[in-house]
Amino acid sequence: MKKYILIAMVFAMSSTSIMAQWSKGKGKGYYKLSAWYLKSDQHYTDTGAIDPNVTRTQFNTNIYAEYGISDKIDVIAYVPFFARTAQNNQISGTNNNTIQQGEGFNSFGDIDLGARYAFYKKGQWAADVKLLLGIPTGNDRGGSDGSFQTGDGEFNQYLSTSLGFSNSFGSVPFYAKTYIGYNNRSEGFSDEFRGGFETGFNLFNNKLWLIGRLNILKSIKNGTLTAANSNGSIFANNIEFTSFGFEAAYYITKKLGVSASFDSAVSGRIIAANPSFSGGVFLDIK
C-alpha cells in the first residue's frame, strides 16, 4: 500500500500569491502565471513517521488572480489549467530489470473561486475575512489504478480571517500577517483547521520582496473515508502538516515582476516529506 500513500492535496503547500495582500481597491488587481513542482520519494505515514515510496512527481501550471470590485471587496480565482501526476519506473535492485512501468496522467486541476472582504483598516493594522470555494474540476481517479490524481473529487468551502500589520525598519518596509481558517469538506472527507503566519521585507527601493511563512493544517477527523474505500482518494483524507516556506519576488518594472518560492513540511501525516518549488511572472496593478 505504500505506493498509494501519495497526496492529492499537496497543492495546499504551494503558494498562490506573491505576499500577504491587503484589499486591492476598486479597479486594481494582481495576476500571476506560475508553475509548481514536487518530486516525492518519501512520505509521512499516518503515525507521523517517514517511509520511502516509489518516486512520483506532481506538476501544475496555474493562473492566480485578485481583482478589486470595490474598495473593500476583492474577487479571487486560482485556476490550475494543466496538472500532471507521474510515476517513475520501478527498477529491481538485484538485476536492474523493470519491475513496473512508469505512468503519467494529465488533466485540469481543481479550481478555487472566492472573495475577500476587508472589514477593518486603521493606521498600520488591517483585517479581512475570505471565503474560497473548491470546485472539483480535476480528476480524482486518474491512471491505471486510480491513484494518479489531479483533484480530490469533493466540493469544499474554506472560510478564514486574517490580521496584518505593516511598518518599516528605517527605510525598509515590512509586513506581518497571521490567519486562521476552517475548511468544510464533502464526500466523506474530514474537515480541516488551518492557521499560519507570514512576514516580508522590501529591499532595493521597492524592487525586491523577501518573504517567509509558516502554515499548519490539522484534520478534524470527522470524515467517513477509510482504507476500505475504493475511490482512490483515501490518501487525501486526514492529511496534516506543519510547513515552512520562503519566497522572493522581484519587480522588473513598477507593475511587472518575477517570483520563486520553496515550501516543505517539517512534520505531517499522509503527506509528502519532500519540498515543493514554484516560479512565475506577475502583474501588480496598484
Specify if 264 maps to a domain: yes
Q: Is residue 35 part of a domain?
A: yes
Asked if the structure places residue 92 within a domain, the reply is: no
Which pLDDT value is given to residue 144? 84
Q: What pLDDT does 201 receive?
A: 94
- Asked if residue 99 is part of any domain, the answer here is no
Q: What is the CATH number of the domain that holds 109?
A: 2.40.160.40
Phi, psi of 270 (to 5 degrees): 55, 50
* 211, 127 contact by CB (below 8 A): no
Give the domain extent around 40: 2-87+105-285
Asked if the structure places residue 72 within a domain, the reply is yes
pTM here?
0.89
**115 in a structural domain:** yes
Q: Is 120 within a domain?
A: yes
pLDDT in tens, the chain (286 residues): 333 444 434 444 444 444 445 678 899 999 999 999 999 989 888 899 999 888 889 999 999 999 999 999 999 999 999 999 998 877 666 777 767 778 899 999 999 999 999 999 998 999 999 999 999 999 988 888 888 888 888 999 999 999 999 999 888 999 999 999 999 999 999 999 999 999 999 999 889 999 999 999 999 999 887 644 433 333 468 889 999 999 999 999 999 999 999 999 999 998 889 999 999 999 999 8
Domains contained in the chain, number: 1
Tell whether 95 is covered by a domain.
no
